[in-house]
Amino acid sequence: MKKIIVTGGCGYIGSHTAIELIENDFEVVIFDDLSNSSEKTLERIEKITGVRPIFEKIDLKDERATEFAFDRYKDAFAVIHFAALKAVGDSIEKPLEYYQNNLYSFLNTLMCQHKLGIHKFIFSSSATVYGNPDVLPITEENKTQRPFSPYGNTKKIAEEILDDFTKSNPNFAAISLRYFNPIGAHESGNIGELPNGTPNNLMPYITQTAAGVRKKLMVFGNDYPTKDGTPIRDYIHVVDLAKAHVKALERLLNQDQEQPLEIYNLGTGNGFSVLDVIQSFDRVSNTKLNYEITGRRDGDVPKLYAATNLALEKLGWKAEKGLDEMIDSSWRWEQKYRNNKNDI
């Protein structure tokens, strides 16, 4: 059984990926500082898979602590690196905190695994590296641009570091996965997106508003050059996204990669506006969401949606779940969590 280190594995995407890894017979070791997650996530993973991942509470910004942790698991075959702060708006208000957290943790992880001879790496990147794209849908051939937020820029900088590093170390192989907009929850309803404090992403804010936790959803801007004036994004089910990581890992372990660093878009190829998502939620939940149109939010671009041909060709991966299914699973998770906090 191959051992995989998953940094940020108690977070939203990391935890769903841990489930898919376990169900594909990998041994999962989670490194997480729990700054935006909960140790109860380990219980939720175990409830779904029957296996409790190995867990190390660790601040990856701390180089010495990271070295000690990696030394305990130097028999690992690969690292999947999720650990990062990820809120666009928050990063604009606290840029130095984002650069310090996201880049220190990235560099320490990369240096420690390299020192121990763990030469396979998957990076959790973002479509924000494309900035405001000139051409849609976005292919991997689109040039990256200076993102509109420090969060996005940390992903762009990390990819540039990874590119330099893989060129200088031919035995090191990496895949960077550029996510579009993950939403949804595991079909069991036992795990889903659960941010600490006020959500920064659309879907948990919608479900928390519908559940009465929030009074109102604020829609940031209806004057964009889109069909209804609200921003358009490529929403992808988190389970589809998690499965892509398993496919990428298999490509690395089978040594199928054609370049030291390969980059893939992960989306559905379809763009939905914020109002599309709200209307879908109303339909799926049979409720009427309370929302208000307000001014634009710094860091948002009008349209982002992916071309995903390369992931299909090279990874054998394609998103399978539609928008209504994404929203239905998010709503079921929210309801189950609010009604059974002590049981999940």
77: left (phi over 0), alpha (psi -120 to 50) or beta: alpha
pLDDT > 80? residue 299: no
Counting Cα atoms < 13 Å in the Cβ hemisphere of 311 gives 30
On average, the pLDDT of the chain sits at 95
Q: Evaluate whether 83 touches 126 at the Cβ level (below 8 Å).
A: no
CA distance 69 to 52: 18
CA distance 115 to 76: 13
Catalytic pick from 12, 98, 130, 151?
Answer: 151
pLDDT reported for residue 245 = 98
* pLDDT at res. 31: 98
Reported confidence tier of residue 344, pLDDT bands at 50, 70, 90:
low
**Is 151 one of the annotated active-site residues of the chain?**
yes
Neighbours of 335 (CB within 10 A): 15
* Inter-helix orientation angle 323-339/202-210, to 10°: 50
Cα torsion angle, 52, 41, 323, 135, sign: negative
pLDDT tens digits for 122-171? Answer: 999 999 999 989 899 999 999 999 998 999 999 999 999 999 999 999 89
pLDDT band of 340, cuts 50, 70, 90: confident
Segment 274-292 mean pLDDT: 97
Q: How far is CA 283 from the centre of its chain?
A: 26
Say if residue 342's pLDDT is above 60.
no
Which region among 82-91, 104-113, 242-251 has the lowest average model confidence (pLDDT)? 82-91
What pLDDT does 199 receive? Answer: 85
**200-237: per-residue pLDDT in tens?**
889 999 999 999 999 999 999 999 999 999 999 999 99
Read off the pLDDT of each residue in 173-198 and give the average, rounded to a whole number.
94
**In this model, does residue 61 exceed pLDDT 70?**
yes
- The pLDDT of residue 194 is 87
272-273/232-233 β-pairing: antiparallel
Average pLDDT over residues 174-195: 95
341 has pLDDT over 70: no
Instruction: With CA atoms as reference, report the closest residue to 283 among 333, 338, 323, 238.
Output: 323
Q: What's the pLDDT score for residue 343?
A: 59
Q: Is residue 187 predicted with pLDDT exceeding 60?
A: yes
**Which residues does 168 contact at the CB level (< 8 Å), separation at least 6?**
none
Neighbours of 122 (CB within 10 A): 25
Beta bridge partners of 66: none
State the pLDDT at residue 258: 93
Give me the percent of the chain exceeding a pLDDT of 70.
Answer: 99
Q: Which residue(s) pair with 264 in the sheet? A: 177
- State what percent of residues in the chain have pLDDT above 90: 90
Mean pLDDT along residues 172-184? 97
The residue count of the chain comes to 344
- The stretch 4-14 carries a mean pLDDT of 97
Q: Quick one: pLDDT at residue 88?
A: 83
d(CA 268, CA 235): 7
d(CA 199, CA 298): 16
Output the pTM of the full model. 0.95
